[in-house]
């Protein structure tokens, strides 16, 4: 694989990245670094803040589960504590932010 150059800072890196941002710039943007205070980096829309849905909003989409509570969230989605009704066991349910559904590269990576 050939090195890529970050579209924000110019660093070289060796893997695919959203909008060709290096890991340092992705983290800086996600953490609200002052490096991005005056400008939005390329691809910033793909890192837009996301509010996970409330359990009662998700519940109709997962009738086989009793969604109990949101237990964590981050850049890659939200995790809910749920009970699998048929087997009466506690499970985790991960919901991805909607921007991943619009990213063909993400879908291809997940399915491979």
Shared-domain flag, residues 39 and 77: no
Over the stretch 53-98, which tens digit does the pLDDT of each residue have? 999 999 999 999 999 999 998 878 899 999 999 999 999 999 988 8
Could you tell me if 89 and 82 are in contact, meaning their C-beta atoms sit under 8 angstroms apart?
no
Average pLDDT over residues 29-43: 53
User: Under a CB-based contact definition with an 8 Å cutoff, are residues 44 and 29 in contact?
Assistant: yes
Tally of residues, the chain: 112
Residue range of the domain that includes 74? 55-111
Question: 102 and 64 share a domain?
Answer: yes
What is the structure's pLDDT at 74?
82
Regarding predicted confidence, which is higher, 46 or 3?
3
18 and 39 share one domain: yes
pLDDT of residue 38: 47
The tally of domains found in the chain comes to: 2
CATH number of the structural domain spanning residue 70: 3.30.200.20
């Amino acid at each position: 694989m050939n090195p890529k150059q970050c579209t924000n800072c110019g660093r070289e890196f060796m893997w695919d990245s959203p909008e060709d941002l290096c890991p340092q710039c992705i983290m800086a943007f996600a953490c609200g670094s002052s490096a991005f205070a005056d400008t939005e980096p390329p691809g910033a829309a793909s890192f837009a803040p996301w509010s996970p849905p409330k359990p009662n909003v998700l519940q109709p989409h997962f009738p086989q589960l009793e969604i109990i509570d949101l237990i964590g969230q981050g850049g890659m989605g939200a995790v809910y504590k749920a009970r699998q009704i048929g087997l009466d066991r506690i499970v985790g349910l991960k919901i991805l932010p909607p921007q991943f559904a619009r990213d063909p590269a993400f879908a291809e990576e997940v399915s491979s």
